[in-house]
Chains A and B, each alone.
Chain A
């Protein structure tokens, strides 16, 4: 006997993601899911963003890692709410992990929640967390051909930060080709080229993010 089901494999996760999303809306918090490969500069971008926005916005951070709390330690110098999640082997964060982390955070005292996903260009793209903003980083060192190899994250993100622009010229990275490829895959995407190391381009990113927080938490 054949039984029709038509149930999505990610439905259970997406149900919790919708509940998280509703909570963020109610508390007027913009949650940003920040995805990238290991070493692309997620923690550096968060530090640089905190430096520039911490006086104007109340920012919280959820640090997702397979193991360790190295990244959370790096951010301890900032006076912010921070929760570390260890996925215990899982290659991505899921909506339920975020729900549990939120039990340890005061959303009434927050405007922007940055969720640093596990370093990985594939899996995090499949698991919605309830975020209002899907952001990703690609670093110059990884090469301009990555969008075609890891299409889902590039086609699903609303903003792409291209980090380590100070390394341009040291290899064969082609910025124009990268922009062209990504814009074909995802015509709506906003792209920022910057260097967390030198600070080049960071103000344009934080100005944009600040406006995004203000307009979505009104």
Chain B
């Protein structure tokens, strides 16, 4: 497959940084650090340039052309961020922070109560403990599933209920129910772990697939990393 020079260069740079990043699995080395720092620098530069473009188009232009002078207010508040670097006027930096935190918290809280609290509670309370489908009739598996949800929710709530002393009979019963809650949480954490493994593996598979697109770059750079890793190892040995 004929590849143009720009694409080839792209593959090599990609392979260089991908293998550099994964060389950490062998040991920490300067090659990895170079890849890491470049990634951080590029991300910041990219974000800054994109944000600058948006602000220029959305806020600065309307102010300059006189179309909407109200954008001057957020522009001035945003500019106060620069005082983070001033000891004398650091207090001015608190204004944009206060605006961002206040707006963010207010917006999030208003939606959280309905979308993430009430709706979840309502959905759990409404779970039928005897599921009958109009067409298929009694659904034993769905019924079992809903019973499990009911028991596990009650168990988890009981686990975090500390208002009754365990010495009382009610407290002992709550503790026993809390045991179910503990198991429920362990199952949930296990599921989360399994899904995390899936995501990490998929990230790696994505990189691996791209590396294998061009064998020469893969093998050449793998050899290069091996050399660097060996040199790094020798240097560390000498230093020790």
Q: Do A and B come from one complex?
A: no
Residues of B participating in the A interface, judged by any CB pair closer than 8 Å: none
